[in-house]
Amino acid sequence: MSDIPEMSCPSCDKTFAENACRYVALSQEHCPYCGAVVQVTEGFGGTDIVAMVAGDVAAIDSWLDHHAGIVGVEIKRPSTKERSNLWTFSTPYPWTCEVSYEQKLPNMLAIRFVTEENAEAVFANPARTAIACAKHGVQLYGYRKTKPMTEQVTAKWGVTQYLSLYKLPEELFEPILSRLDSAMKEVLTSLG
């Protein structure tokens, strides 16, 4: 069974994968005096989302494999069962390192350090934390989950750097980790 959503044509009642659609954009040019249509231009195009995601995930795998080969770390790959695009691995820094990819942000990845340390303090004043992150050119990241039946709260926070997958140089990896580490330390210092 395919993970691609299906659609039905209201004209011929045929069913097909959503990514098989032919996209057409019509552009009308109007007279500046009377408003009459003077020209209609038809354009078309399409995006194969499945192919784009596969290409992006392969690029991320390649980038991480290169790093893992240099520093000798093991990368936990995304699970196809969970339909997650989250890679995790160890670094010399005291934080968990995650690389995340989302279909809604094609050709982009997020690399971040996360921790549970002082999470409640970060959630108490995220604006102050965001300012400390901005000084390092990174963005604040966090989430808090509460299980209603037990009232158990899990909170994580961290700092994120977004990167384009277009010509992603391997040499960029270590400087980004260093920047993320500096931002994490400044946030913890700012919390007191």
Find how far residue 128's CA is from the centre of its chain: 24
pLDDT tens per residue, range 142-189: 998 888 888 888 899 999 999 998 888 888 888 999 999 999 999 999
Q: Is the pLDDT of residue 52 over 60?
A: yes
More confident position, 104 or 178: 178
Residue range 104-121: average pLDDT?
A: 91
Percent of the chain with pLDDT over 70: 91
Assigned token pair, 136: 């390092």
Output DSSP code: residue 139: E
Listed by start position, the domains of the chain span 6-45, 49-191
Which residue is listed with tokens 């494999």? 65
> Buried b / exposed e across 171-181, counting CB within 10 Å, b at 16+?
eebeebbebbb
pLDDT-based confidence at 1, cuts 50/70/90?
A: very low
CATH number for the region 49-191 comes to: 3.30.1460.10
Q: Is the pTM of this model over 0.85?
A: no
Q: DSSP per residue over 44-85, as a string?
A: EE---HHHHHHHHHHHHHHHHHHHHHHHT--EEPPPTTTT--
Q: Which residue is it, tokens 């969970």?
A: 82
Task: Give the SS3 label for residue 120.
Answer: helix
78: number of Cβ within 10 Å: 18
